Amino acid sequence: MDDLVVIGAGPYGLSIAAHAAAAGLDVRVLGRPMASWRDHMPRGMFLKSEPWSSNLSAPGGRHTLADYCRTRGLTARHGRPLPIATFSAYGMWFARQACPEVEEVTVTHVAPHGDGFRVTTDQGPPLLTRTVALAVGVLPFAHTPADLAGLPPGHCSHSSDHHDLSRFAGQEVAVLGAGQAALETAALLAEEGARPYLVARRHRIDWNAVPQPLRRPLLRALRDPHSGLGTGWRSWVWSELPWAVRRLPEATRERIVATALGPAGAWWLRERFEQRVPALLGHRLHRAVPAGGRTRLGLTTPAGESVVLDVAHVIAATGFAPDLDRLTLLDAGLRAALRTVGAGRTPALSAGFESSWPGLFFAGLLTAPSFGPSMRFVHGAGFAAGRLVAGVRRRLAARGPLPGSAGADPVPRGPVAGQPKTYLR
């Protein structure tokens, strides 16, 4: 039986696995490494966060993005956007350097079994584990406006459904949203020869400022400090003190997560977008119907007038809404039994990211209502991985001697090729 099974192999899952392996735990990682970054972001996108705040986490601060870039003769520099393809390759390199071998299987069911869990995949027999960490990323929580629900297949998609936008060359495409995903998707569509329109309820587009230099006069640095989530004291708190955010009243945390670091475009995207993409701002979608092979959108203007936009396709770049009920791989009875926080049903978590069901841990977007906005970003993986693995070790200690402690069977540190696993038969 494994000590820990990590479900998901994105930045959070890989960081957790690196910390767990270094702690001597018998850990297994299931999923496609960096899947959302490799398969679900349009080709040509750039990382919005600064390279120095986009590291995956390994004990001792090893295997950083800068380390990877040095091995490839690349530069990861403050104030210079980094291609998503480079970040994805970095994640793959990190997995090889710091983690047990990732098993590229799809987990279909996680259910309680004795004092542990049974994990079923699309390949082979189920396996048993004492603890589980769900680091499934954002894809299960893709949000599409209800007004688009009645459209036939092929008329509408989510921004996370696309890796290659060239298929829309020569076509009119409506992109819904006003955040980075919407703005960059629209710009890339235009650069691929499509005719995009941005449709947003917001009356203006917010653009992030050019980042301040890392080295600044002391007074300026104190007044507006850098953090993994941007400059300013509020961003610094969300970035560096997730443990303090967790101690705030639930209603306060929910408000922070809903309002902090709202939709905005990266400074380096503005010229590309404004030169190529018409924006229908302050327009609300109230109707979407198929019209032959096209889609007809009914919009309400800021003046309250109704207008129609006729397009070949609609891309909803409308973000992700964390909700346990959408995590269907988790046993329905177990989901129903979990204590939750917030209006969107997300798990209530201990300081070690453990849910109310002993041994079941969460990381990533689902933890934002407990630990704050940093859990929506790669930067939060460092805090989450260390705290979560410490929580796993406490849970295992409550059940018996920890690996490597007196009275316990010796367990190798890190991955061992061919190490036998315990399966349910």
pLDDT digits (tens, 9 = 90+) for 41-85: 999 999 999 999 999 999 999 999 999 999 999 988 898 999 999
pLDDT of residue 342: 76
Query: Mean pLDDT for the chain?
Result: 91
Helix ranges, 61-114 (H): 65-71, 84-98
With residue 78 as reference, give the H or E element that holds it. Answer: none
Domain check: are 55 and 100 in the same one? yes
Residue 87: inside a domain, yes or no? yes
Q: At what angle do helices 381-399 and 11-22 cross, to 10 degrees?
A: 50
Res. 7: pLDDT tops 70: yes
pLDDT of residue 411: 34
Task: Say which amino acid occupies 220.
Answer: R
Q: What integer is the mean pLDDT of 169-177? A: 97
Whole-number Å distance between alpha carbons of 203 and 201 = 6
pLDDT of residue 215: 86
Q: What is the full DSSP assignment across 332-372?
A: HHHHHHS-EETTTTEE---TTSB-SSTTEEE-SGGGHHHH-
What is the number of domains present in the chain? Answer: 2
Res. 288: pLDDT tops 60: yes
HSE (side-chain half, CA atoms, 13 Å) at 294? 12
pLDDT of residue 412: 34
- How many Cβ atoms are within 10 Å of 78's Cβ, its own excluded? 14
pLDDT of residue 406: 41
Please choose, from the candidates 315, 378, 369, the residue with its C-alpha nearest in 3D space to the C-alpha of residue 342: 369
Domain check: are 191 and 72 in the same one? no
Domain check: are 51 and 187 in the same one? no
For residue 203, give both structure tokens.
Answer: 């009356």
Please choose, from the candidates 340, 380, 372, the residue with its C-alpha nearest in 3D space to the C-alpha of residue 357: 340
pLDDT of residue 407: 41
Domain check: are 91 and 199 in the same one? no
CATH of the domain at 290: 3.50.50.60
Domain check: are 187 and 152 in the same one? yes
Task: Say which amino acid occupies 283.
Answer: H
Q: For 384-420, b where at least 16 C-beta lie within 10 A, e where not — what string? A: bbbbbbebbbebbeeeeebbeeeeeeebeeebeeeee
pLDDT of residue 220: 86
Res. 409: pLDDT tops 70: no
**C-alpha distance across the termini of the chain, in Å:** 12
Domain check: are 45 and 181 in the same one? no
Whole-number Å distance between alpha carbons of 101 and 99 = 6
Q: Are strands 313-316 and 172-176 parallel, antiparallel or unpaired?
A: parallel
pLDDT of residue 195: 98
Domain check: are 117 and 182 in the same one? no
pLDDT of residue 423: 35
pLDDT digits (tens, 9 = 90+) for 270-286: 999 999 999 999 999 99
pLDDT digits (tens, 9 = 90+) for 230-258: 888 988 998 999 999 999 999 999 899 88
Domain check: are 391 and 281 in the same one? no
Whole-number Å distance between alpha carbons of 207 and 268 = 9
Domain check: are 155 and 296 in the same one? yes
Domain check: are 290 and 276 in the same one? yes
Secondary structure of 272-305 in the HEC alphabet? HHHHHCCEEECCEEEEEEEECCEEEEEEECCCCC
17 touches 27 (CB < 8 A) = yes
pLDDT of residue 75: 87
pLDDT of residue 422: 37
pLDDT of residue 401: 58
What residues make up the domain containing 178?
Answer: 146-207+264-316
The pLDDT confidence band at residue 214, using thresholds 50, 70 and 90, is confident
Domain check: are 202 and 76 in the same one? no
Most confident segment among 163-177, 257-271, 399-413: 163-177
Domain check: are 154 and 198 in the same one? yes
Res. 95: pLDDT tops 90: yes
